[in-house]
Amino acid sequence: MRQLFTIVFLSVPVAFAAGTEPSFLPAASCGLCHSRIPPPDDTQAPSVAPAALWSGSMMAHASRDPFWRAKAQEEALQLPAAAAVIEDKCLRCHAPTQQYPLRQNRGMRLRDLDPGAEGVTCTVCHQISPDNLGGTASYSGGFEINRKAQIYGPHRNPFEMPMLHHTGLNPVESPHMTGAALCGSCHTVVTPTLGPDGRTTGAFLEQAPYLEWLAGDFARAGTTCQSCHVPLLRESTGAALPQYIAHMPPGRWFPPTRPRTPFGLHFFVGANVSMADLLARTELETAMALRRTAAKARENLRSALSLRASAAAEGRKLRVAVELRNRTGHKLPTGFPSRRLWLHVEVFSTNGSRIFESGGWDENGKILRVSGSFEPHRAHITRPEQAMVYQAVMADNAGVATTSLLRAASYVKDNRIPPSGFDSAADPRIASVGTSGDAGFRPGEHRLEYEIALSGRADPVRVHVEAVYQSIDPTYLPAADSAALRPATAPVVISSAELSLKSRK
C-alpha cells in the first residue's frame, strides 16, 4: 500500500540570522522537502525519506513517552525539594526544542511542556555544534546549538537555496553528523545522587551506551552509532545506494541535485518494541510509522544476539550448555536501567509434559518463581527458582537496590553482556558488577550451564532455550500509572534454540 503524506505549505520567517538565539522549526517544515522519497526498487513501499521515518521513532515521541513522563513525575513527587532540578534535567533530552531556549535562564518544568510537542526534531540534531562533543560537558544533554544559522549534514557542496528559502538555515557539510559523539551527548546520562532532603551527595552514571562503545571493538573499527541506528540505504548486494536527499514540495527533484551517498535511514530504532506498539494505539497520526518502527525494532533485536545451546543426559542429570554472543557495539541490554534480558529454558519428556522450567513469566511480564529484589548473576543453574537475568540494578547510598534514579549511587549488579573487545579499565564506572569468579563471562559473550536433576520417571527428549528481552521491568512502573503502562512490559523473544535428545530407554 502506498503511504500518503500530507504536504503542508508553511510561511516560515527567516529568523535565524547569525549570532541570534537558536530556534527550532517543527518537523513539518523539514518534511516539505524531506518526506516523499520512495525506495528505488519499489515505489509502492513506504517512503524512506528522513522525515517519514523519523515520525515513527521514539525520538519523535520523546516528550510524549508515557513511561518517561510517569517516571519523571514520580521522581519529582518523591523528592519535591529537587523537583525543579529533576524535571529540567529530563527535559534537556526529551524536549530540547522547548528546554534549550530556557537552559541558561530559569530552566523548565514538566508543567510547562506543550502536550502536543514534538520530542527530538530535525533542527535539534542537525544544528548541534561539534565544538564540545565527546567531552564530559556534552553529556546529559550538554550539547551546544550553533549560533551561525547553520544546519549540518554529511554531504559536500549542498544545494543551499531551498533550505535557506524555507527555513533561513544554511546547509553545511560536517563529519560530526556521522560520529558517535553526537549521539553520546544525550545517550550518556549522569544524574545527581540525592539524599532524603534533596541535597546532592554525589553523581551517578545512569546510562552509558557511548562510553561502552568507546571501550569496545566497534569504536576501534569505526563502526558508529549511526552505522546501526541510522543504517545506510543499500542495494541487494550490500553496496551503499545513492538517493536524492530532498524534493520540491510538489514532489519533483530539484534540478541541480543528484543522488548522494551516504543516505541514512532515519529509523533511530533501538529495542523499544513494546512502547512503539503502545504509542501506536494512541498516536493515531503516526500509528503506521510507529508500527513500522516496532517491526524494525524486532528485527534489530534479533540481530543483536546469537544463541547456541547443546544438551546431553548423563545418568540422572541433564546438562544444558548455553552460549550467548553480544553482536552490538555496547552492553546488551543497554540504556535505561529498566531494560533486561533473560533466558527461558524448558525441558519436556516423552509424553510432552514439562519437567523443568527456568525463566518463565506471567501475563504482567514478571519472571516466575524468582524471589528477592533481583536475581544474582549465575554461571550454573540447578533449580527452577533460579534464572539467568542480564540487567543493571541500581543501589542507593546504603547499598540497597532501588528503582529511583535520583537515589541511585552505584550498581549492586551489572552483568549485562559487554561488547566484544570491551576494556572496562577505560572507565571504571562501566565495569561489570557481580560477575567475578565466572570464567564464562567475557567481553562479547557469556557461557553458562544448566544442570537438571532427573527423576527415574522423567525421560527428557526435548529442550527449548530462548532469550527474552523486556524494555520495562514491571518493578519500575509507577503505581499510579501501572495499568496504563502494563502493555509496555510485554517481553519479546529475540532468539531461540530447539534441542532433541535420544530416549534413554
> Per the domain annotation, does 145 fall within a domain?
no
Rounded CA-CA distance 327/304 in Å is 5
Q: What's the pTM?
A: 0.93
pLDDT mean by block of 10 residues, the chain; 505 residues: 37 45 88 84 75 94 95 91 90 95 89 87 97 96 95 94 92 97 97 85 95 97 97 92 91 90 94 95 93 96 97 92 98 97 96 94 94 93 97 95 94 98 92 97 98 82 97 95 95 97 67
Rounded CA-CA distance 485/490 in Å is 10
Count: domains in the chain: 1
> Per the domain annotation, does 122 fall within a domain?
no
Residue 413 lies in domain: 301-500
> Per the domain annotation, does 231 fall within a domain?
no
Please name the residue ranges forming H helices in 95-215: 96-99, 122-125, 161-167, 180-184, 209-214
For the record, the C-alpha cell of 416 comes out as 549485562
pLDDT of residue 316: 87
> Per the domain annotation, does 209 fall within a domain?
no
Distance of CA 15 to the CA centre of its chain: 34
> Per the domain annotation, does 212 fall within a domain?
no
> Per the domain annotation, does 52 fall within a domain?
no
Residue 141: which of 155, 122, 128, 157 has the closest Cα? Answer: 128
> Per the domain annotation, does 365 fall within a domain?
yes
Beta bridge mates, 499? 463
> Per the domain annotation, does 30 fall within a domain?
no
pLDDT of residue 111: 93
